Every structure is written in structure tokens, then in C-alpha cells.
Amino acid sequence: MAIAPLNKFLTIAVPVAPGLQELYKAPVGTSAIVLYAQVSNVGVNTFPTVTFTHRRTSVATRTIGNERNNRIVKDGEIPPNDALVLIDGRLVLERTALISDSLTLTGTQSGITTINNVTYTSNTGLTTVTTLVPHGLSVNDQITMAGIAFTCPSTAGITSSIFPAPQAAFTVEKVINNITFETNTGFVNNLPHTFRPSFHRFVRATPNCITVTSGAQNNATISPIKGTTYDSVTGILSVTAAAPHNLTTNDNIQFDNNTLFFKCSQDNYFQEKSYPRSTDPAANGNNLGVTTFVGIANTFTVNVGVTTTGGLVGPLQMEFICSILENSTS
């Protein structure tokens, strides 16, 4: 006997945090209908904007990970004490053996600063946040944070190494100085969290952006390709080259400025950022020594300098809410 599909109504209500937010993804065996969605401006004399997107991701074997993003609202401005209706009708989200649909939101607002350090006391929830530049916050201000990376001694009960997860608003409880404040983000008994810099994902590179400046390969150029990685804690860049590089640890190399493109966890891998920047140790034609190599293979490592920042914080200015009807297809 066939079993009738089950329907379930959901309400999603979250603050709009800095960076990219995945608001909802249709579960396996489910199609969903978004009935209504809006963003409210809860700030004071602010004019934030939002971009609301339908994302279709391929889960097919040969094309897995490919994305198609269709913007439903682009840079919609929300005046003070007002709201922007994003959907007032029906939007169908699918999840099949080939595709996975989701909703994402990016907000643009004033007052966002980069986080330089976070100290978290797991048994009380006390969280001390240090920013790269003055934060401009006061006691009792509501805030949102995003893209804070931690390492934990155990992953038991932990669903993500990027916090907050799920997204939430917090209140400033104490201002220590113009770059440090305290809030409470909730406790997790006996599970210490240690702040670490943002994770980075290699996207692409300008061809021939690395030049060898010594040894038998002097003046040869190298093109990084997929497989290149960067460890922000150690500063080690592992380069996968398009062709055998023939380098040794006696060789030096130079990078062209702004030719390696990465996305990072700080804004949930939203924007591409180019490196090395003019202020980075690997920029401006500085010679860097090859630290390891694999014979005449395509991989070598070099220390390009560590990253110290990770995460974003700002005053709470927007809140999102939507209603969804899920329909079981299995």
C-alpha cells in the first residue's frame, strides 16, 4: 500500500549576519514550497541592503558542486522601521538525485568589523571578542557575528567548526576597551574551544604568476592549479603546479601581487579575495625559499606568512523570517 506524502510547515527566523547565510536547504526526499519571506530593518537610522538568492547545486557524480545562483532580490534597500518582502506567493525548492536547492542571503550594512581573537569559556558561555579596528559598540547593544573558526579537542555533539551555528543574535555585556568586548554565546559543558584564523579555499590563479629566481630553473614561471592549499595557522602554501616544477629547497620564487584567488570562512566563502596583497610578506617581488618539494612532481610548499584574523561582528540591523511547506517525496 502506498503511503501518502507527509506535509510539514516550518518557520525560519534568524538575524541577518555578515557574509553569506544559507537559510534553508531542501532535505533529501523532500520538495519544499516557500510561502512567504521578508527581512525587517531593526536598526536605528540605518539603510541596509540584502540580496536574496535561489541556489541550485549539482549533486550528480560528474558535475557535483557546480552551482547556479538566481537572485530573487538584488541589493534591496530596507528603510528604517520598515521591511522588505522577498517572497509573497510560492517558490518551489527541489532535492533529487541530481540537484539540491537552497536559499541564501547576503546583507550589507554599516558597522561591520573583522575579528582578531576570541576567548570562549565553554562552561559559562562568556565570550571575549577582540576586533582588528575599533568596534564602536556599547553595553546592551545587540550584535551578530559570523565566520568564527574554532578548534575543539572533541567533535562530539559539534556539527560545525564555524560559529555561531545556528545563527543567533547576542548582547554586549561589557566593553573592555575600543577593540575588546564581552558577550555570552551560550555554554557547552567541558568542551574547550580555541580560536584559529579563517580557513581558506583555493579558487583559481593567474597563469604564470610565480617566477623562479634562482638555480637551474631561473626565470621559469609556474601556474598554480586545483589542489593548491593554504594553512592560515602555519602560513604554508602548498602549490600544485600545472606542470612539473623541478624545484629544490635551494630555490627561491616570487609571486605577482593579487594573482592567487581564495575564498575564506570569515564570510562563509562568499567573496573571492586576491593574494598576495601589497602588505603581505609574499608581495612586491620578495624572494621566498621553497621549503619542501616532491622530486620533479607538481607540488611544492613555501611559507607565505600566517593569517591572524577570522570572523566578522557588527550591530544587529536586520532580521529574516520565512514560512516553508515541506512535502515528503519518499
**Interatomic CA distance for residues 64 and 269, integer angstroms:** 18
pLDDT digits (tens, 9 = 90+) for 226-239: 999 999 999 999 99
Q: Does domain 113-198+311-315 have CATH number 2.40.30?
A: yes
Residue 287, classified by CB atoms within 10 Å of its CB into exposed (0-12), middle (13-18) or buried (19+), is exposed
pLDDT digits (tens, 9 = 90+) for 188-207: 887 888 999 999 999 999 99
Average pLDDT, the chain: 92
pTM above 0.85, yes or no: yes
Structure confidence at residue 1 as a pLDDT band (50, 70, 90) = very low
Cβ-contact 316, 46 below 8 angstroms:
no
Quickly list DSSP for 157-214.
T---SEESSS--EEEEEEEEETTEEEEE----TT--EEEEPPPEEEEEE-TT-EEE-S
The enclosing H or E element of 20 equals: strand 19-25
Q: Give the pLDDT confidence score for residue 190 in this predicted structure.
A: 79
pLDDT digits (tens, 9 = 90+) for 290-324: 998 776 679 999 999 999 999 999 999 999 999 99
Looking only at the bridges linking them, the beta strands covering 113-120 and 318-328 are unpaired
Task: Check pLDDT > 60 for residue 4.
Answer: no
Q: What cell was used for 205?
A: 590563479
Lowest mean pLDDT among 105-114, 150-159, 263-272: 150-159
Q: Give the pLDDT confidence score for residue 154 in this predicted structure.
A: 64
What mean pLDDT do residues 78-102 have? 95
**Interatomic CA distance for residues 230 and 227, integer angstroms:** 10
Q: Give the pLDDT confidence score for residue 25 in this predicted structure.
A: 95
Q: Give the pLDDT confidence score for residue 95 in this predicted structure.
A: 93
Q: Give the pLDDT confidence score for residue 5 in this predicted structure.
A: 55
pLDDT digits (tens, 9 = 90+) for 119-172: 999 899 999 999 999 999 999 999 999 999 998 876 655 556 889 988 999 999
pLDDT digits (tens, 9 = 90+) for 250-262: 999 999 999 999 9
Residue whose entry in the numeric block shows the C-alpha cell 547565510: 21
End-to-end Cα, the chain, rounded Å: 14
Q: Give the pLDDT confidence score for residue 157 in this predicted structure.
A: 55
Q: What cell was used for 26?
A: 531542501
Q: Which CATH architecture has domain 7-110+319-328?
A: Sandwich (2.60)
Q: Give the pLDDT confidence score for residue 296 in this predicted structure.
A: 64
